[in-house]
Amino acid sequence: SQTIHQWPATLVQPVGSPLSLECTVEGTSNPNLYWYRQAAGRGLQLLFYSVGIGQISSEVPQNLSASRPQDRQFILSSKKLLLSDSGFYLCAWTGANYGYTFGSGTRLTVV
Amino acid sequence: AQSVAQPEDQVNVAEGNPLTVKCTYSVSGNPYLFWYVQYPNRGLQFLLKYITGDNLVKGSYGFEAEFNKSQTSFHLKKPSALVSDSALYFCAVPGSQGNLIFGKGTKLSVKP
């Protein structure tokens, strides 16, 4: 069966520090992968999506970047965090018929 | 552009009463419609989806949703609410990149 792993679960980082969040998928190949951010426990904002290794599309210009070094690995990064980067980050992948599976999320607090 | 709207920020119901969480959509072509639930500090979990067929779709945890084409609505329902149903509920439609476009979410609070 397909599973998605996302870590860490929580993270507290100072302003200006780097960031690396990792997401891996098991049990499928060549998935479409997505990073979402949820601010204030509400709506989800699509940040990046990837349809294959090295293929990254950004939906919103910002302080973040994404990479897909392997077929089932998706990484969200920042060189210098801002206070406004705080939020709940969710990784997801899609199967057939838009079947979406989400990771358990990372709560990032920038202090 | 594809979009969904959830007009209520919060819905409060008493345990045992029926619940409805509202969603309206705006899509081109035949709509695919989804409901997801999110418990605190967790990822979203799939509840149900409408692709085609019966207008009444049954999903997980006793939830169902009614597709109404004339009213462009896809309201989530449950005949008898449980305290454990308290969570954040999202309606969604597919975007142009294989992603899902989510509504802003509706917080459901079920009181004993």
Range of the structural domain that residue B76 is part of = 3-111
Kind and range of the H or E run holding A49: strand A44-52
Q: Tell whether the model's pLDDT for residue A99 goes beyond 80.
A: no
pLDDT tens, B55-72?
Answer: 999 999 999 999 999 999
pLDDT at residue A61 greater than cutoff 70: no
Chain B window 45-104: which residues touch A at a Cβ cutoff of 8 Å?
45-46, 49, 51, 88, 90, 94-95, 97-104
Of the candidates B73, B84, B93, the one whose C-alpha atom is nearest the C-alpha of residue B20 is: B73
Query: What Å distances lie between residue A108 and A7, A8, A20, B1, B99, CA to CA?
Result: 11, 9, 11, 31, 23
User: Under a CB-based contact definition with an 8 Å cutoff, are residues A95 and A33 in contact?
Assistant: no
Question: What average pLDDT does range A55-62 have in this prediction?
Answer: 84
d(C-alpha A50, C-alpha A33), whole Å? 5
Q: Establish how many alpha carbons lie within 13 A of residue A5's alpha carbon, considering only the half-sphere containing its beta carbon.
A: 10
What pLDDT is attached to residue A96?
A: 65
pLDDT at B43: 87
Question: Are residues B97 and A57, on separate chains, in Cβ contact within 8 Å?
Answer: yes
The model's pLDDT over A65-86, given as tens digits with 9 standing for 90+, comes to 999 999 999 999 999 999 999 9
| Largest Cα–Cα separation, chain B | 42
Q: What is the CATH number of domain A3-110?
A: 2.60.40.10
Q: Do A46 and B95 touch (CB under 8 A)?
A: yes
Sign of CA dihedral B21, B26, B32, B37: negative
Res B20: pLDDT: 98
Mean pLDDT of all residues belonging to chain B = 93
Contact A110, A83 (CB under 8 A): yes
Residue A98 has pLDDT above 80, yes or no: no
Q: What is the DSSP string of B43-67?
A: -EEEEEEE-SS-SEEE-GGG-EEEE
Contact status, residue A4 vs residue A100, Cβ threshold 8 Å: no
The domain limits of chain A are 3-110
Q: How confident is the model at residue A1 (pLDDT cuts 50, 70, 90)?
A: confident
Report how many domains make up chain B: 1
Provide CB contacts within 8 A for B96, sequence distance 6+. B2
Which of A109, A106, A110, A111 shows the shortest CA–CA distance to A37? A106
Per-residue pLDDT at B104 exceeds 70: yes
At a CB cut-off of 8 Å and minimum separation 6, what does A18 contact?
A77, A78, A79, A80, A81
What CATH code is carried by the domain that includes residue B62? 2.60.40.10
Nearest Cβ partner of A100 from B40, B41, B100? Answer: B100
Give the range among A58-62, B10-14, B39-43, B46-50 with minimum mean pLDDT. Answer: A58-62
The answer to whether residue B32 neighbours chain A at the CB level (below 8 Å) is yes
